[in-house]
Structure 1
Amino acid sequence: MRAGTFVYPWDVVGDPAAPGLLAGLGVETVTLASAYHSTRALTPRHPAHRIVTAEHAAVLYPPDPDRWSGHTLRPYPAGEWAPGDSYGEAARALADAGLEVHSWVVLAHSSRLGGEHPATSVVNAYGDRYPWAPCIARPAVRAHLVELAAEAAVRPGAAGTELESCGWYGLAHLHAHDKTAGVPLGDREQYLMSLCFCPSCREGYAAEGADPDELAASVRGALAPVWSGGGSARPLDRFEDAVLSWRTRTARSLQEDVVRAVRAAAPPGFRVLLHADPDPARCGANAGVDPAHVLGLADGVVTPAASVAPFAAHAGAATVLAANLPVVAGMGGSPRTLADDAKRAAEAGAGELRLYHAGLASDADLAAVREALRTLS
């Protein structure tokens, strides 16, 4: 199986040994972040640092001032964690080591955008804003994400792109000093807490025949047993279909617009993949999609290994199905079972692997990856 790994520019820039180390793992491709959310990342081998703090969502290259002239919403340049054209510098070093570089673009996930422009954010049924989650139904947000995708995806030297968070984001969010685990929330509860009630979404629900005030009250009522410790969330009954119809239609149209914009900006043969989940109601980095629709739109998907099969049912001969496998043991990954996990993913229909994430992994983790890829070759 063709294998690739995720990497940040700061894993490579300033470390002359990094490209050779990555090439020596046995991967053919590197998915290199060009637009990324805020994070605090360990760099176990870098000669100049051990912790990188990316303080806000940013593009990791110089944004084109002409492209963004007149836009109220625009990408934020990175600070000292990725100065100048860090993406370009890392991409050139990786290509010189014989690796194929694809851009990694995070779209609907930006705390700074929501902090500076509150009207862009998802608003839950209680009226709480999620500044990290731009609402993809807002016209200004959609226009921004489409423009950002075209610029951040088609970087010099990139052979393709992988688009993360190309759909609804919601409650789930790795946040500094998070204190939200006091009441356990399953998938259903996360979904209800992720439904948006901004003006655009309220209009959308109404167009589907659901009164937004009644819907919000129904969501709060459905969640009431959860807060009291009395059990799981109740159904929304007559509102379920209207909510899913609005959100699915909105996400599909954004994905269509984004892929169209990237293809228009890209050279022939440029590969476009979406990080995706086969459940259309899913929120987050792996956006919920309809497998048949997304595989008719993009060249393929990157999806958790356990989610490959629903996409394989709709895949054509040229479809790319990349199974995302975590290989950082300290973050719950299983580098020592990689060979077996990869074989199971292949049996489900995957033709490629994405390993998360070589820049964060220990030397021991990478040694296990190297051995596993050797046995798979």
Structure 2
Amino acid sequence: MNVSAFLYPWDVVGDPDAPRRLADLGIGRVTLASAYHSTRALTPRHPHRRLVTAAHSAVLYPPSPEHWRDVPLRPRAQRWLECADPWGEAAAMLADAGIEASTWVVLTHNSLLGGEHPRAAVRNAYGDSYPWALCVARPEVLRYAVALAAEAGARPGARGAELEACGWFGVEHAHAHDKTAGVPLGGAARYLTSLCFCGSCRHGYAELGADPDELRDAVRAALAPVWSGERGPGPGPDDREGEWAEVVALLGSGFAALTLAWRTRAARAFQRATVAAVRERAGRPDFPVLLHADPAPHRSGSNAGVDAADVLTHADGVVLPCTGPEAVREDVLRPFRTAVEGRRRDGDEPVIAANLTVVSGMGGSPGTLADDAAHAAALGASQLRLYHAGVAADADLALAARELARLSA
């Protein structure tokens, strides 16, 4: 089973022992961030630092002024590491140790650009802007994402690309000093509060036959019992079908279907354009482009919701959230296994990568990695992703190394 670990460039740059430690774990490939959102991350083994604060979304390489000349939304370069090209330097250090690197590109999650360009951000039914969430239906966002996917996805030396937040991003966001837990939002409420009513989305709803103001009022009415506490959060986070049934119950079948139709149309166009941009820039037919995805089309976030059969017609595969009980992995993986079986061709089988968290402090189970991976493989996973080799404690990595040895044996 092909195994890759997620990594930030700052986990490697300035630490000459980092590649060796990864190799000792039994890892021969990493998914290395090249365009990432703001974060605060531990570096528990680095010789010179323990905490990196990435103050804003940024590209982790020097962007080309020529490439961005006619694009109205432009990414910022990182400024928390002294080197000019953290991705390139980290990838070179890893390559010297025999470790391949793919790019890890975050697209629609960008608080800096959403704040600077509020018209480009998702705007909910109450008129509130979500600066962390760029709206995929906006033409300026599409231009930005296509340019970013091409430049950040096909970095020199990269062996492939993985696109995160390649679709709708919504209310879900861990914000600094967050005060949003007063009303628990289940999956249905998250969907409704993530529906966008910017000018582009209002036009899209109208094209499909809805009056945008009437739809907006219906969404507000559907959410009223949630805000008052009369209606609880509904099905659990792993019940995707129940989640959508709750949306239909709250909003009505007609409006629910129409909003999903619009969001699916916009997301599919966005995904096809960004995947094609990476392929064109890479200029290699063997350069795989994968999407971080969820099998429920109505979901938004880092793992954007997709239709399994559709996404595998234009992407080379998917990376799927598989941390949790066996039932979770079955729910996530089965739709993609069915889609692959329906279109398998010799030498051209899409990648289904199971993403397993190996950081116990983030809900992972590094001590059961081999069994979890074997179960994922039985459900159709062909590759494995480990989240996250840079922030995990030594004890977690030791357990993961033991389990990887079991898996290879």
What TM-score comes out, normalization by structure 1 length? 0.98
Q: Distance in 2 between matches of 1:61 and 1:347?
A: 38
Give the conservation status (yes or no) of the 8 Å contact 1:108–1:167.
Answer: yes
How far the C-alpha of 1:70 sits from its partner, in A, is: 3.2
Which AA in structure 1 matches 2:204? G
Q: Distance in 1 between matches of 2:127 and 2:9?
A: 38
1:345 corresponds to:
376
Instruction: Indicate the larger mover: 231-240 or 64-73.
Output: 231-240
1:259 corresponds to:
275
Q: Distance in 2 between matches of 1:56 and 1:322?
A: 29
**2:371 equivalent to 1:354:** no
1:312 corresponds to:
337
Tell me the secondary structure at the aligned position of residue 250 of structure 1. helix
CA deviations over 1:252-299 (Å, ceiling 9, x no partner): 011111111111111321111000111111100001111111111111
Q: Distance in 2 between matches of 1:211 and 1:82?
A: 52
1:288 corresponds to:
305
Q: Distance in 2 between matches of 1:334 and 1:210?
A: 46
CA deviations over 1:78-105 (Å, ceiling 9, x no partner): 1124641000000001111111110000
Q: Distance in 1 between matches of 2:374 and 2:70?
A: 50
**2:121 equivalent to 1:131:** no
2:221 corresponds to:
221
Give the conservation status (yes or no) of the 8 Å contact 2:53–2:80.
Answer: no
1:204 corresponds to:
204
Aligned-residue Cα RMSD (Å) equals 1.0
Call closer, same or farther: CA 1:82–1:71 in 2, change over 3 Å: farther
1:144 corresponds to:
144
Q: Distance in 1 between matches of 2:128 and 2:221?
A: 16
1:336 corresponds to:
367
Tell me the secondary structure at the aligned position of residue 313 of structure 1. helix
Q: Distance in 2 between matches of 1:295 and 1:362?
A: 35
Instruction: Indicate the larger mover: 38-47 or 231-240.
Output: 231-240
How far the C-alpha of 1:28 sits from its partner, in A, is: 2.3
Q: Distance in 2 between matches of 1:183 and 1:108?
A: 26
1:34 corresponds to:
34
Equivalenced residue count is: 377
CA deviations over 1:16-54 (Å, ceiling 9, x no partner): 110111111112210000000000001110011101000
Q: Distance in 2 between matches of 1:71 and 1:295?
A: 29
Give the conservation status (yes or no) of the 8 Å contact 1:31–1:103.
Answer: yes
Q: Distance in 1 between matches of 2:298 and 2:141?
A: 20
Give the conservation status (yes or no) of the 8 Å contact 2:23–2:99.
Answer: yes
Q: Distance in 1 between matches of 2:311 and 2:70?
A: 32
Which AA in structure 2 matches 1:313? T
Tell me the secondary structure at the aligned position of residue 103 of structure 1. strand
Q: Distance in 2 between matches of 1:16 and 1:53?
A: 21
Ranges in structure 1 where 5+ consecutive residues have no aligned partner: none
Q: Distance in 1 between matches of 2:361 and 2:82?
A: 25
How far the C-alpha of 1:308 sits from its partner, in A, is: 1.5
Q: Distance in 2 between matches of 1:93 and 1:351?
A: 27
Query: Taking every aligned residue pair, what percent have the same amino acid on both sides?
Result: 61
Q: Distance in 1 between matches of 2:19 and 2:256?
A: 49
Tell me the secondary structure at the aligned position of residue 68 of structure 1. coil
Q: Distance in 1 between matches of 2:400 and 2:5?
A: 11
Ranges in structure 2 where 5+ consecutive residues have no aligned partner: 233-245, 323-328
2:293 corresponds to:
276
Tell me the secondary structure at the aligned position of residue 246 of structure 1. helix
Q: Distance in 2 between matches of 1:40 and 1:121?
A: 23
How far the C-alpha of 1:191 sits from its partner, in A, is: 0.6
Q: Distance in 2 between matches of 1:182 and 1:61?
A: 40
Q: Distance in 2 between matches of 1:250 and 1:267?
A: 26
Q: Distance in 1 between matches of 2:294 and 2:350?
A: 16
What TM-score comes out, normalization by structure 2 length? 0.91
Which AA in structure 2 matches 1:46? H
Tell me the secondary structure at the aligned position of residue 53 of structure 1. strand
How far the C-alpha of 1:235 sits from its partner, in A, is: 2.1
How far the C-alpha of 1:72 sits from its partner, in A, is: 2.0
Q: Distance in 2 between matches of 1:303 and 1:149?
A: 19
Which AA in structure 2 matches 1:41? A
How far the C-alpha of 1:351 sits from its partner, in A, is: 0.9
Q: Alignment partner for residue 303 of structure 1, among 308, 312, 320? A: 320
CA deviations over 1:207-263 (Å, ceiling 9, x no partner): 011111111111111111111110147521121111010000000011111111111
How far the C-alpha of 1:342 sits from its partner, in A, is: 0.5
Q: Distance in 2 between matches of 1:81 and 1:210?
A: 49
How far the C-alpha of 1:310 sits from its partner, in A, is: 1.0
The equivalences for 1:145-224 within 5 A come to: 145-224=145-224
Which AA in structure 1 matches 2:309? A
Give the conservation status (yes or no) of the 8 Å contact 1:54–1:81.
Answer: no
1:235 corresponds to:
250
